[in-house]
Amino acid sequence: MEALGPLMRKFDFPESVLEALKIVHLQCEKMSLNPTSTLMSQELSQVTDFVDEFVFGNPQKKSKKLNCIEQLQVIEAIIQHFDEEVEYGQLCSVFMVVFLAKGRDVDLKMDTLSKLLCLNLAQGHKTLLNCAALWLTQQSVGAAHCTQLARSIVQDYLILLPESADKNQGMTELIETPKQSPLLAGILLTHFCDLYKVSAQGTGFKAPPIQLVRLATSWLMDHRDLCGANGTTSSQNVVTMMRISPIPGLLTWSILGPLVQASSSKSPSGNKNGICEEDNIYSQLHLAVLLHISQHNLASSFPPNSLPNLTENLMAILDAGVAGSVSDHSPAVSKALDRFGQALQAALAAGSQQVDQDLLLLLDQLPYNRLVHIVTSNIR
């Protein structure tokens, strides 16, 4: 592909990006005809270098670094290319190659991808959303660039949406993401849960922005197949594709939510009935999560040791005083334990075998809660 360099340098930027994407597309078609070729690795390396030079570079500049305006022009060119009436499988291949986490400036690629994804979450571009979903399935679990992508969506897009009387106004396309790509919605929820989780020491919990809790609630309430709750489904979702689920992380959010609210120094806004808006949203999230737990998705909703880990995290946070001056008999602690008991009952109803004598010993160390007592008394 080195021979194409002089030709590409004749194009002005960003026309050069469009032409480069066409060439990458042709190369992907060529590689797909002989996927077992011994030269595949070499060809992919050459295409990656070409992408670095002419998709994420301006051939008319001595500086290799794109400025912000040029980066937006690259995004516009990518969207234009993916608007073409072309076979979806080939577009996925192009997406994979363009955003391969290798090459000269991986950080630039990932930053461009995050901006592209934020824009298309707002616009509901089905092809690009599904390509992004498949790209995410190919990344290693816990990859730093995936975590950064999720963080960018939250910090650079979601929390910046203007508030209104109707909290979902301005989020129409974002709320409809599971319709466009249930796989992407499930994967994003999983990565969001990784951003806001109990600390490695088990003594701290950073609550997610309330806008994110509201979005997760909306997605789960409106799409029961999102986490495989109904068993067989015709749509690709995170459970069928990756055998993982956001359910364990979302349970942590809803159970620890009351404790975080109680310890917050900020006064939460209340609705006309005097009920805390944030508490209402967390309650709705908890209900939505419970509705997504069934025997069909038990393995992903409660993976091995998830219930003991959840119990230990709840104990550690209560013992460490993360809830501030909240006592064991406070409404916040009672609410957290009630939700924990409900999750425990949901696991048992779905057929979980994790509630054994070791877990019962752990449960006995929690502050007394009537619901937890009732649930466990039936299995002792």
pLDDT tens sequence across 105-147: 899 999 999 999 999 998 889 999 999 999 999 998 788 999 9
Structure tokens at 365: 């160390």
Which DSSP letter does residue 140 get? Answer: P
Report the distance separating Cα 229 and Cα 232, nearest Å: 9
Of 346, 349, 241, 358, the C-alpha closest to 308 is 358
Spacing of C-alpha 127 from chain mean position: 18
Query: Exposed e or buried b for every residue in 121-143, given b needs 16+ CB within 10 A?
Result: beebbebbbbbbbbbbeeeeeee
Higher-pLDDT residue of 17 and 316 is 17
pLDDT given at position 286? 97
Structure tokens at 340: 């924990």
Asked if the model's pLDDT at residue 21 lies above 90, the reply is yes
For the residues 44-56, what does the mean pLDDT come to?
Answer: 92
Give the Cα-Cα-Cα angle 206, 208, 213 (nearest 5 degrees).
150
pLDDT given at position 232? 65
Amino acid 195 reads L
pLDDT given at position 215? 95
For residue 250, count other CB atoms closer than 10 A to its CB. Answer: 26
Beta bridge partners of 276: 270
Cα dihedral across residues 235, 238, 242, 244: positive or negative: negative
Report the distance separating Cα 99 and Cα 305, nearest Å: 35
φ, ψ of residue 276 in degrees (nearest 5): -60, 125
pLDDT given at position 274? 36
Cα dihedral across residues 359, 362, 366, 369: positive or negative: positive
For the residues 90-102, what does the mean pLDDT come to?
Answer: 94
Weakest-pLDDT range from 8-12, 58-62, 185-189, 343-347: 58-62
pLDDT given at position 235? 67
Report the distance separating Cα 368 and Cα 349, nearest Å: 22
pLDDT digits (tens, 9 = 90+) for 246-287: 999 999 999 998 787 666 644 445 444 434 788 899 999 999
Predicted confidence band of residue 245 (pLDDT cuts 50, 70, 90): very high
Predicted confidence band of residue 96 (pLDDT cuts 50, 70, 90): very high
DSSP-based three-state secondary structure for 205: strand
CB 80 within 8 A of CB 14: no
Non-local CB neighbours of 243 within 8 Å, separated by 6+ positions: 299, 300
CB 32 within 8 A of CB 47: no
